[in-house]
Amino acid sequence: MSATNIRQQIIGDEVDGVATRFGISKDVAFLRFAHHLLTGRSLYAFDDDLVDGGQDKQIDTVTIEADDSAADVWIIQAKGSSSFSSNALVQMGNGLRWLLEAPRKKLETLENQPFKDKILEFRGVRSELGPANLRLHVAFVTPGSTGDL
């Protein structure tokens, strides 16, 4: 068995465990597990960061950790499939434009309240700390092998 297959098996086992522990679907469990690995936060520190839903612009979670001088912002899209389409990347780019650039008036048209709230939270942190003090971490995560993407 190759190292890639072993890694994928370990990830599958972990995701199954998360799904069972939280009583959630495997897709949501994969997202929760990916969020945990990327941010280093507890599997339980997740729900406030979830923006997945209608008009999420291919962004599932936005996690903001700030102190007095800097902030880390994790923007994550996770798909349970072994690969992703170029269209999904284009849509995520659109979501990033909403987060970073969309005028406040345009934000009023968003029906996804959790996403709108995270955009406003992000912009508040950006205004307070300045853009140079933000570290953006953007990830599109699948359980597939990088050799097969």
* Domain layout of the chain by residue ranges: 3-148
Report the share of the chain in percent with pLDDT over 90. 66
Q: Using N-to-C axis directions, what is the helix angle for 26-39 and 3-22, rounded to 10°?
A: 110
For the whole prediction, is pTM greater than 0.85?
yes
Nearest to 78 by CA among 104, 54, 51, 102: 51
- Confidence (pLDDT) at 147: 67
**pLDDT tens-digit series, residues 29-58:** 999 999 999 999 999 988 889 997 776 578
- The single-letter code of the amino acid at 113 is Q
**In the sheet that 134-141 helps form, which strands lie side by side, from edge to edge?**
61-66, 71-78, 134-141
Q: Using N-to-C axis directions, what is the helix angle for 86-100 and 113-129, rounded to 10°?
A: 60
> Can you tell me the distance from the alpha carbon of 74 to that of 96, in angstroms, rounded to the nearest whole number?
12
Q: Would you say 21 and 28 are in contact if contact means Cβ atoms under 8 Å apart?
A: no
| Sign of the dihedral defined by the CA atoms of residues 140, 141, 144, 145, in that order | positive
- Confidence (pLDDT) at 4: 66
Q: How confident is the model at residue 89 (pLDDT cuts 50, 70, 90)?
A: confident
Question: β-strand 61-66 against 134-141: which pairing, if any?
Answer: unpaired
Q: How confident is the model at residue 70 (pLDDT cuts 50, 70, 90)?
A: very high
Other CB atoms within 10 Å distance of the CB of residue 98:
19
